[in-house]
């Protein structure tokens, strides 16, 4: 049986959970009220940091889910995503519009990756 490792565990959630060679990241958000570009950049930096903490990296991302407060921001978010995601290692991905935790959040990204 595999051990479960939790990273940055709080009373409501952990920022990452590792089990069976897979890391599951919680939804990451950027600075509330910042532009879509800045929020996406901050989120992807958090993803990089969390993956590194468990011995993984963005080339090992298996699946990504991206929520945006408005699909009108899709191109702006994708401009940042496309410059960050390693070509040849792009994950399965879904993106959609959803109300986020607060109206000041424009983007939330969660990832599942191999360790």
Q: Which CATH number characterizes residue 44's domain?
A: 3.30.1330.40
Distance CA 45, CA 83 (A): 13
pLDDT digits (tens, 9 = 90+) for 22-34: 999 999 999 999 9
Task: Supply 60's token pair.
Answer: 């090992």
**What is the pTM assigned to this prediction?**
0.94
Q: How many domains does the chain have?
A: 1
Return d(Cα 82, Cα 59) in angstroms, integer.
13
Range of the domain at 70: 5-112
pLDDT digits (tens, 9 = 90+) for 43-98: 999 999 999 999 999 999 999 999 999 999 999 999 999 999 999 999 999 999 99
């Amino acid at each position: 049986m595999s051990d479960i490792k939790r990273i940055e565990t709080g009373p409501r959630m952990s920022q990452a959970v590792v089990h069976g060679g897979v890391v599951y990241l919680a939804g990451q958000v950027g600075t509330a009220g910042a532009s879509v570009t800045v929020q996406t950049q901050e989120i992807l930096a958090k993803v990089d940091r969390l993956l590194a903490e468990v011995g993984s990296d963005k080339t090992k991302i298996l699946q990504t889910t991206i929520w945006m407060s408005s699909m009108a921001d899709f191109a702006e978010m994708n401009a940042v995503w496309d410059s960050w995601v390693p070509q040849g290692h792009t994950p399965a991905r879904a993106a959609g519009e959803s109300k986020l935790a607060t109206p000041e959040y424009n983007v939330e990204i969660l990832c599942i990756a191999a360790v």
